[in-house]
Chains A and B, each alone.
Chain A
Amino acid sequence: MTEVRYYGQAIPGFNETYLPGKLIVVEGTDGVGRSTQIALLQEWLEGRGFAVASTGLRRSELARRGIDRAKQGHTLSDTVLFLLYATDLADRLESQIIPALRAGMVVLTDRYIYSMIARAQVRGADPKWIRQVLGFALIPDAIFYLQADLPHLIPRVLSEQGGFDYWESGTDFFKGRDLFKNYVRYQTRLLMQFDAIAEEFGFRRIEANRSIKEIFTELRREVGTIVTPMKRQSGVGT
């Protein structure tokens, strides 16, 4: 990632200005195929000799269980849940992502702060506040936004995920019990939010209404241009 940059304040106690690895984010709404593409990318990169670490939202040792528990009981407010997700990200940055980048690995992350921002903004959070809280986030080397529209997303959610998820339908938010209607309304708003922040954060859009293979072909070409220069780098930490 050559030069270490943050969206806001640096992580306390962390002074490195250079990390040899690359941080690559795959973003996109539910059912767009992020995890499939990341799995394919990881294998493809490893086949080319790159060491890869993959991570994603809610995968921290620290906060994962707590978040899952809170979601089951539906007891926490949007703001508290947002702060728990921020804790989860802080933990993963410091204990997984940065160590991997320091070791010169390619880090693939399934969603990053952008999903958190889109989700919080749909729920009416103060846009300025959420950005300030998340100011400790490292600016990644690339953000690939898999963009699909609802008519393409719905069949995937139904066939691959076995139906509409309570949270991905925003049913915590709309209260009505019609999951399909909620899903359509919620994802429409979420897609609008992603669209609204695309430019601010410099998303690279990958048109995801296409087949898995077509998406992957484009994605690996783009990722290739980011990781290839790593082969010319000299040793770690120089």
Chain B
Amino acid sequence: MARSLRRSHHPGKLIVVEGIDGSGKSTQLDLLHKWLLSENYLVAFSEWNSSPVVRRITKRGKENKSLTPLSFSLIHAADFTDRLERQIIPALEAGAIVLADRYVYTAFARDVARGCSPQWVREVYSSALQPTLAFYFRVPLEESLRRILVGRPELKYYEAGLDLGLASDPYESFKLFQSRILQEYETLTEEFNLTVIDATQPLVKQQEQMRAVVRPHLEGALKAGAGSVADVLRDEALLGRYLEQISIGKNGEK
């Protein structure tokens, strides 16, 4: 029997994507987002490490490399909890579909890969709500590395796991760190019964599978109140020439 997080009693739906860097999860979530908007659903979006107040502390800690596995974990928990209380729960209460790019499973995988106790990390995040759907984009390490490392981008200190001292070369360190995270994800997939998508398939195929899983959960989900601008344009044969000057119609952008 798979483990669950705290049960949600809200009318909205929470859909999350997980996976290592280079798994293509954000691309797939973005495609899902656009589809839901085109279907006129009320969608809210929440991204890992984006709480306005907390993120500044995290940024500072990353810049001067003062974060340890412990403080790294705690500051991300503060960030998550702030977004949970301020963005995710209110939107779910209102009946929206909430899309989250990374959720608590990211912390369970990363923090444990950094040496935190699995049990402790799960306790820290015990206020998290069970998502309606949690997708895990499974990709072999070599494939994700190929996608990320093509062009030899500059890897950031914590991104490469250099704080762990696994290797002094950022690329070597990144590989070792990602492989640890991947291992943790594989455990989580069973523990929390994540919906696995084979992320080596063509993008369009992954999106088809994702939509097929999501579709049955959309019944009764709240639609955007004012209707879409697209409807008016179509029905009234307008071009929307001046819409670009105002903010309406940009809800879909991050």
Residues of A whose CB lies within 8 Å of any CB of B are 8-9, 11-13, 61-63, 65-66, 69-70, 73, 75-77, 79-80, 83-84, 86-87, 90-91, 94-95, 129, 132-133, 135-136
Contact = CB atoms under 8 A, between A and B. Distances in A.
Contacts of B75: 62-63, 83-84, 87
Given A83-B124, A84-B57, 17 more contacts: A12-B69, A12-B70, A12-B116, A13-B68, A62-B60, A62-B66, A66-B57, A69-B53, A75-B53, A77-B82, A80-B51, A80-B82, A80-B85, A83-B78, A84-B54, A94-B70, A94-B71
Given A62-B60, A129-B126, A79 B70 contact: no
Nearest to A95: B66
B117 interface: yes
Nearest to B71: A90
A129 B125 CA distance: 10
A73 B54 CA distance: 13
Residue among B60, B81, B115 having the largest count of chain A Cβ atoms under 10 Å: B81
Interface string B47-66: 00001011011001100101
A79 B117 contact: no
Nearest to A79: B81
Interface of A: prevailing SS: helix
Nearest to B126: A129
24 contacts: A9-B117, A9-B120, A11-B68, A12-B69, A12-B115, A12-B117, A61-B64, A61-B66, A70-B53, A73-B53, A75-B53, A80-B82, A83-B75, A84-B57, A84-B78, A87-B71, A90-B74, A91-B61, A91-B71, A129-B126, A129-B127, A132-B120, A132-B123, A136-B70
A46 B66 CA distance: 30
Contact of A80 (B54, B60, B61): B54
Contact of A133 (B51, B66, B67, B124): B124
Residue among B56, B61, B75 having the largest count of chain A Cβ atoms under 10 Å: B75
B74 A66 contact: no
Interface of B: 51, 53-54, 56-57, 60-61, 64, 66-71, 74-75, 77-78, 81-82, 85, 114-117, 119-120, 123-124, 126-127
A60 B11 CA distance: 41
B71 A9 contact: no
B198 to A, nearest CB: 33
Given A66-B57, A76-B53, A80-B54, A11 B78 contact: no
A70 B81 CA distance: 14
Nearest to A136: B70
Residue among A61, A69, A73, A87 having the largest count of chain B Cβ atoms under 10 Å: A87
Contacts of A70: 53
Residue among A62, A75, A129, A135 having the largest count of chain B Cβ atoms under 10 Å: A62
Nearest to B116: A12
Given A76-B82, A84-B78, A13 B53 contact: no
Nearest to A10: B117
Q: Which 9 A-B pairs have CB atoms at the shortest separation, nearest pair first? A: A66-B57, A83-B78, A12-B115, A12-B69, A132-B123, A87-B74, A90-B71, A9-B117, A80-B82
A79 B79 CA distance: 11
Contacts of A136: 70, 120
B74 A86 contact: yes
A12 B113 CA distance: 11
Contact of B57 (A8, A87, A90): A87
A12 B68 contact: yes
Given A13-B115, A129-B126, A136-B70, A63 B57 contact: yes
A95 B61 CA distance: 12
